[in-house]
């Protein structure tokens, strides 16, 4: 009986959780005048026209390409610099290590709004505006500290005896790191990559400010269309649903580690 | 085991330091530069010292935004933490497709771009085409107009926030629950402990570490909230949902008042820094196991 109460409660919560997303999906499968004329709980005349329009119009689908491009570049940069740093924090004490870690942490906590204008000016000076690299670099501001943090949690879970044995066996640090250590924490690397992807994917303040047309992310293309052409709700809903799909796919791959990742590898 | 002391480890952290310094220190210096000058154009600027700071610290709009922010972040914690723990307790600890599906569904809102979150709720709350808006308006018969009624705007933003971020608390609490060895439950069963006793004396203490992270992450992130309420209400009606970040962007980009915005940024940053320090101390304790 107790078990059934729990199941009912959980199903109730999941239903409420999915309802707004379902409503968006429902609207994305209907024509705009159909949406405006009446309230329907499911699409009576489902149409995929909204999706077809997005996939055939470059000003729409390039938004996806742009989003994936800067998220990808950001993930690579963040992982490459965060891996050695996390190893240093988990294995060594060094001058100012605690202060440095705290300083990194403050950047994860810093309001993006504070940095928005100065970063825009800095990147303008460097001629980076409207490139993938600009958004990717700006997102390292919060993603690199996060990556160091999660990776450090995972790395601290690996016994130090493994390092010491390897060094006695004559491994150099880079060789040990690449051939022994990295395979040991590959789940942690995967989870970290997922979180970098996620936070770069959902962030919009930087992504929108630092791009004009060439590198505009899909989520920003959406808002521009909303303000310009008198609201096509169906199209807007379809674009919104398409921004959810990549996240849903990636979650599936890391589902067993996702909770541990959210706990910064420290459960 | 003690970590070895080796200053060569600096070489390993150097890339991170350079990259983050490029993104954080240079802009921060620019902000400080703004905050002490009155800039008319690129050649005419006046050093004003701490005038902007004095003005902003006395500004009633800033005070109101700060209070609004603190109340908002407080409410977020009060609602999301108990709700998240409750739902985590309902989830099955056995692995299987049902658990996987639940995890994927719960995590889904966390992976939606923040302005899409706003858009979803704009649509969902509209009385003419949105399900919830229509339900409140037509079925309950309450005239619902969140863009013009402050209290309804607040409820809408809170609803969206709870919908968006409670899953984070659920996932953290669930991770904490899964880490409790079965032996604890067996011992409790032998002692004939009630469900409440199991929760109070086994599950809650064991979740302390992850709940610390949950509380602090939720507090910090809700303190920086910008995109979702901006899309939903634009900070309105009036200033009623103008939280700190929205207010800052209004001054910096809307009014292009970089002096005031600079001073405000520094104040905002110092507040966040103070909270981060508390967070760091708490996290250190979690890391060394004292918090468990």
* A188-208 pLDDT per residue, tens: 888 888 889 888 998 888 888
Residue percentage of chain B with pLDDT more than 70: 96
Contacts of residue B91 in chain A, CB cutoff 8 Å?
A: 10
Residue A168 lies in a domain: yes
A119 and A195 share one domain: yes
Q: For residues B127 and B134, is the Cβ–Cβ distance under 8 A? A: yes
What per-residue confidence (pLDDT) applies to B87?
A: 93
Q: Which of B84, B133, B106, B111 is nearest to B232 (CA)?
A: B133
What per-residue confidence (pLDDT) applies to A108?
A: 82
- The CB density around residue A44, as the number of other CB atoms within 10 Å, is 10
The CATH number covering residue A224 comes to 1.10.3720.10
State the DSSP string of B68-127.
HHHHHHHHHHHHHHHHHHHHHHHS--S-SHHHHHHHHHHHGGGGS-HHHHHHHHHHHH-T
Q: What is the CA radius of gyration of chain B?
A: 23
A59 and A135 share one domain: yes
Residues B204, A149: Cα–Cα separation, whole Å: 25
Dihedrals φ, ψ of B46, to 5°?
-130, 135
What per-residue confidence (pLDDT) applies to B86?
A: 93
A37 and A71 share one domain: no
Burial B201-223 (b: 16+ CB within 10 A, else e): ebbeebbebbbbbbbbbbbbebb
Mean pLDDT across chain A, nearest whole number?
Answer: 85
Q: For residues B250 and B242, is the Cβ–Cβ distance under 8 A? A: yes
Residue B63 lies in a domain: yes
A106 and A27 share one domain: no
What per-residue confidence (pLDDT) applies to B291?
A: 39
Q: What is the CA radius of gyration of chain A?
A: 22
Q: Which of A201, A215, A243 is nearest to A71 (CA)?
A: A201
What per-residue confidence (pLDDT) applies to B290?
A: 44
Instruction: Give the range of the structural domain holding residue B19, as residue numbers without chain letter.
Output: 9-287
Distance from CA of B88 to the nearest CA of A (A): 9
A114 and A214 share one domain: yes
Matching residue, tokens 């700060």: B66
What per-residue confidence (pLDDT) applies to A237?
A: 87
Determine how β-strand B4-5 pairs with β-strand B37-39.
unpaired
Domain C-terminal end among A47, A64, A83? A47
A43: alpha, beta or left? (left if phi > 0; alpha if psi -120 to 50): beta
A10 and A126 share one domain: no
Mean pLDDT across chain B, nearest whole number?
Answer: 84
Q: Which of B171, B61, B245 is nearest to A259 (CA)?
A: B171
Q: Which of B217, B249, B233 is nearest to B158 (CA)?
A: B233
What per-residue confidence (pLDDT) applies to A114?
A: 82
What per-residue confidence (pLDDT) applies to A261?
A: 63
Distance from CA of B94 to the nearest CA of A (A): 12
pLDDT over 80 (residue B283) = no
Query: Based on the structure, what is the number of domains in chain A?
Result: 2
Q: For chain B, what percentages of helix, strand and coil (3-state, to nearest 5) are there? A: 75, 5, 25
A89 vs B13: CB contact, 8 Å cut-off?
Answer: yes
Residue A9 lies in a domain: yes
B124 vs A2: CB contact, 8 Å cut-off?
Answer: no
What per-residue confidence (pLDDT) applies to A260?
A: 62
Comparison of pLDDT for B292 and A179, the residue scoring more: A179
B131: nearest CA partner in chain A:
A23
Q: Does the structure's ipTM exceed the value 0.95?
A: no
Residue B4 lies in a domain: no
A71 and A170 share one domain: yes
- Tens of each residue's pLDDT in chain A, 267 residues: 566 788 888 999 999 999 999 998 998 898 877 777 777 788 888 888 889 888 888 888 888 889 999 999 999 999 999 999 999 999 999 988 888 988 888 888 888 888 888 898 899 989 988 899 999 999 999 999 989 988 888 888 888 888 889 999 989 988 999 998 998 888 888 888 888 988 899 888 888 888 887 778 877 777 665 544 567 788 888 888 988 888 888 887 777 776 666 666 554
B231: nearest CA partner in chain A:
A223
What per-residue confidence (pLDDT) applies to A213?
A: 77
A166 and A254 share one domain: yes
Q: How confident is the model at residue B286 (pLDDT cuts 50, 70, 90)?
A: low
Query: Based on the structure, what is the number of domains in chain B?
Result: 1
Q: How confident is the model at residue B6 (pLDDT cuts 50, 70, 90)?
A: confident
Residues B44, A107: Cα–Cα separation, whole Å: 32
A117 vs B252: CB contact, 8 Å cut-off?
Answer: yes
101-120 of A, contacting B, C-beta below 8 A = 101-102, 104-107, 109-119
Instruction: Give the range of the structural domain holding residue A40, as residue numbers without chain letter.
Output: 1-47
The CATH number covering residue B188 comes to 1.10.3720.10
Residues A131, A145: Cα–Cα separation, whole Å: 23
Residue B3 lies in a domain: no
A37 and A77 share one domain: no
199-228 of A, contacting B, C-beta below 8 A = 201-205, 217-220, 222-223, 226
Contacts of residue B195 in chain A, CB cutoff 8 Å?
A: 2
Interface with B, mutate which of A4, A13, A174 (most B CBs under 10 A): A13
B123 vs A233: CB contact, 8 Å cut-off?
Answer: yes
Distance from CA of B280 to the nearest CA of A (A): 7
Residue A221 lies in a domain: yes
Residue A267 lies in a domain: no
pLDDT over 90 (residue B251) = no
Distance from CA of B3 to the nearest CA of A (A): 5
A68 touches chain B (CB under 8 A): no
Q: How confident is the model at residue B142 (pLDDT cuts 50, 70, 90)?
A: confident
Residues B240, B86: Cα–Cα separation, whole Å: 31
Contacts of residue A102 in chain B, CB cutoff 8 Å?
A: 276-277, 280
A15 and A124 share one domain: no
What per-residue confidence (pLDDT) applies to B73?
A: 92
State the DSSP string of A171-227.
--HHHHIIIIIHHHTHHHHHHHHHHHHHHHHH--HHHHHT-SSTT--HHHHHHHHHH
What per-residue confidence (pLDDT) applies to B93?
A: 78
Going B57 to B59 to B64 to B69, the CA torsion angle's sign is negative
Residue B292 lies in a domain: no
Task: Give me the mean pLDDT over the B21-27 stretch.
Answer: 87
């Amino acid at each position: 009986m107790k078990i059934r109460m729990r199941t009912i409660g959980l199903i109730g919560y999941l239903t409420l959780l999915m309802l707004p997303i379902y409503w968006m999906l429902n609207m994305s499968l209907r024509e705009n005048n159909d949406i405006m004329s009446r309230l329907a709980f499911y699409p009576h005349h489902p149409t995929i026209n909204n999706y077809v329009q997005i996939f055939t119009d470059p000003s729409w689908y390039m938004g996806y390409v742009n989003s994936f491009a800067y998220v990808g570049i950001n993930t690579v940069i963040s992982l490459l610099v965060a891996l050695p740093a996390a190893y240093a924090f988990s294995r060594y004490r060094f001058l100012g290590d605690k202060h440095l870690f705290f300083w990194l942490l403050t950047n994860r906590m810093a309001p993006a709004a504070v940095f928005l204008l100065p970063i825009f000016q800095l990147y303008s000076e460097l001629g980076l505006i409207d490139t993938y690299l600009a958004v990717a670099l700006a997102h390292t501001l919060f993603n690199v500290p996060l990556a160091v943090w999660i990776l450090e949690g995972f790395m601290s879970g690996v016994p130090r005896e493994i390092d010491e044995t390897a060094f006695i066996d004559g491994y150099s640090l880079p060789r040990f790191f690449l051939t022994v250590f990295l395979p040991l924490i590959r789940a942690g690397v995967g989870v970290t990559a997922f979180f970098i992807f996620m936070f770069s994917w959902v962030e919009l303040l930087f992504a929108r400010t630092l791009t004009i047309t060439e590198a505009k992310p899909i989520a920003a293309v959406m808002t521009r269309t909303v303000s310009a052409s008198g609201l096509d709700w169906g199209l807007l809903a379809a674009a919104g649903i398409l921004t959810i799909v990549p996240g849903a796919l990636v979650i599936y791959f890391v589902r067993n580690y996702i909770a541990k990742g959210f706990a910064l590898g420290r459960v | 085991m003690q970590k070895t002391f080796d200053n060569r480890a600096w070489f390993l952290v150097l890339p991170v330091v350079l990259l983050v310094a490029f993104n954080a220190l240079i802009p921060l210096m620019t902000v400080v530069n703004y905050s002490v000058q009155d800039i008319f154009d690129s050649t005419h600027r006046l050093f004003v010292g701490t005038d902007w700071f004095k003005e902003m610290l006395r500004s009633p709009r800033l005070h109101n935004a700060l209070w609004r922010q603190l109340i908002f972040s407080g409410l977020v914690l009060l609602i999301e933490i108990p709700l998240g723990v409750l739902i985590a307790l309902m989830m099955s600890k056995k692995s299987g497709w049902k658990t996987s599906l639940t995890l994927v569904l719960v995590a889904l809102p966390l992976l939606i771009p923040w302005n899409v979150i706003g858009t979803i709720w704009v649509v969902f709350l509209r009385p003419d085409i949105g399900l919830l808006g229509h339900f409140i308006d037509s079925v309950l018969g309450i005239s619902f107009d969140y863009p013009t009624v402050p209290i309804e705007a607040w409820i809408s933003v809170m609803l969206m926030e709870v919908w968006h971020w409670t899953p984070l608390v659920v996932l953290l609490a669930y991770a904490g629950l899964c880490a409790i060895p079965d032996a604890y439950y067996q011992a409790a069963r032998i002692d004939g402990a009630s469900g409440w006793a199991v929760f109070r004396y086994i599950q809650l203490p064991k979740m302390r570490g992850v709940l610390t992270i949950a509380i602090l992450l939720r507090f910090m992130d809700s303190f920086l909230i910008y995109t979702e309420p901006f899309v939903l209400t634009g900070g309105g009606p009036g200033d009623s949902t103008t939280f700190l970040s929205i207010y800052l962007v209004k001054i910096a980009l809307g009014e292009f008042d970089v002096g005031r915005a600079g001073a405000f940024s520094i104040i905002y940053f110092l507040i966040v820094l103070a909270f981060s320090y508390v967070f760091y101390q708490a996290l250190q304790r979690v890391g060394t196991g004292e918090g468990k």
